[in-house]
């Protein structure tokens, strides 16, 4: 499991505690490529080629579902009580991940390029020739055209936070599309967009930004350059961006949950970070197409049809407004051991100071006054 530790003034993660990954069987015959995964209503939903849909409540046990189409799905999202899957010129919706129905495609000539749920609405990005349209809907069925892109950028993924929408993609200057620099644009209404500041080091990467998330405090975007090198950028406000990490395969998807980021890479890698700046890479056998978080675990889907699941995630922080009461998140019903040390070093002598059953998540726990230390960590009992 991933065990985070917190100190009086800082957070840190021990390298030995980073996520381990386990292969799961999704139950779909012939193992078609999987392209995306989402989480909602206590359910993971993975989609892929040949109309593939698979669902799971725990990320470990999966069941194949009937989507009603043999056309491939490229994206899937959840919001407002609805799962929405799309690919090519098709959209299908489901209230439960099991029963799927087609909804009208709003842009006849164009194909799907991006799909997200942000700020209580679905966002669909379509493309025809050099033109891109941005559509919004609150019910995933009735769509309104709200934005238009043509000359400057090829938009691939949107997010919302800090009072604005952020879309990321590829800066382009000719056709066919050629990546020249990361593309980022911001908007407060999805109608008028503005180009923010990217630091020169980030611009020089030539990265095609494939994914962006907002963690409640900052945006994290990832992508890759033509040389298949991966890059990750960060912004507190969506306007001022700087490159924070590189040196790994190109990133095509990022998920965030309970203080942990996981990014998937085309060349078969999963990246994990607890701050968005420092990342640890794990090599896997297939290209990772999508990542989602739910029920204290991450799920990654791969182009070869494999599903990977992380160990359970346990996170620990100080409760709001205090520097002595701990807030612990993890799988409900499991027991957690809390350990402490006065300072971090290469050879930490962690001391167990208590244990607690997670009757809820999060739960709060105050160490005995005699056990107050500089750093704490929590881990699941076997």
- Higher-confidence position of 131 and 348: 131
Summarised one tens digit per residue, pLDDT across range 44-80 is: 999 999 999 999 999 999 999 999 999 999 999 999 9
Please check the confidence at residue 315 and state whether its pLDDT lies above 80: yes
Q: Which of 71, 101, 70 is nearest to 89 (CA)?
A: 71
pLDDT of residue 22: 94
pLDDT at 1 over 90: no
**Average pLDDT estimate for 307-314:** 92
Residue 214's pLDDT band (cuts 50, 70, 90): very high
Alpha-carbon span 239 to 344, nearest angstrom: 35
Percent of the chain with pLDDT over 90: 56
Sheet holding 34-40, edge to edge: 34-40, 43-48, 53-56, 63-65
For the CA atoms of 90, 96, 98, 100, what is the dihedral angle to 10 degrees? Answer: -30
What's the mean per-residue pLDDT of the chain? 87
């Amino acid at each position: 499991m991933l065990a985070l530790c917190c100190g009086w003034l800082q957070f840190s993660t021990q390298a030995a505690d980073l996520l381990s990954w386990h292969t799961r069987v999704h139950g779909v015959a012939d193992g078609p490529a999987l392209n995306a995964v989402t989480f909602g209503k206590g359910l993971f939903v993975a989609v892929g080629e040949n109309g593939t849909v698979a669902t799971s409540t725990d990320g470990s046990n999966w069941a194949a579902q009937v989507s009603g189409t043999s056309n491939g799905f490229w994206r899937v999202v959840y919001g407002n009580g609805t799962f929405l899957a799309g690919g090519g010129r098709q959209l299908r919706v489901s209230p439960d991940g099991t029963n799927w129905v087609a909804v009208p495609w709003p842009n006849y000539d164009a194909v799907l390029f991006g799909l997200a749920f942000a700020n209580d609405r679905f966002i669909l990005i379509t493309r025809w020739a050099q033109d891109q349209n941005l559509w919004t809907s609150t019910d995933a069925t009735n769509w309104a055209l709200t934005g238009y892109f043509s000359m400057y950028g090829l938009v691939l993924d949107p997010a919302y936070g800090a009072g604005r929408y952020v879309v990321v993609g590829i800066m382009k200057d000719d056709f066919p599309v050629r990546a020249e620099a990361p593309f980022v644009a911001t908007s407060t209404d999805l109608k008028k967009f503005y180009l923010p500041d990217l630091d020169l080091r980030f611009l020089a990467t030539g990265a095609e930004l494939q994914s962006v998330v907002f963690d409640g405090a900052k945006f994290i975007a990832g992508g890759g350059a033509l040389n298949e090198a991966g890059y990750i950028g960060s912004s507190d406000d969506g306007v001022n961006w700087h490159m924070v990490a590189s040196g790994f395969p190109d990133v095509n998807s990022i998920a965030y949950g309970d203080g942990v980021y996981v990014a998937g890479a085309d060349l078969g890698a999963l990246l994990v970070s607890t701050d968005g700046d420092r990342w640890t890479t794990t090599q896997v056998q297939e290209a990772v197409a999508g990542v989602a978080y739910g029920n204290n675990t991450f799920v990654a889907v791969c182009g070869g049809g494999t599903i990977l699941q992380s160990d359970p995630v346990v996170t620990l922080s100080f409760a709001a407004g205090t520097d002595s009461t701990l807030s612990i998140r993890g799988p409900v019903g499991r027991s957690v051991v809390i350990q402490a040390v006065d300072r971090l070093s290469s050879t930490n002598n962690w001391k167990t100071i208590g244990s607690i059953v997670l009757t809820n998540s999060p739960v709060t726990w105050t160490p005995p006054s005699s056990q107050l230390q500089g750093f704490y960590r929590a881990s699941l009992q076997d």
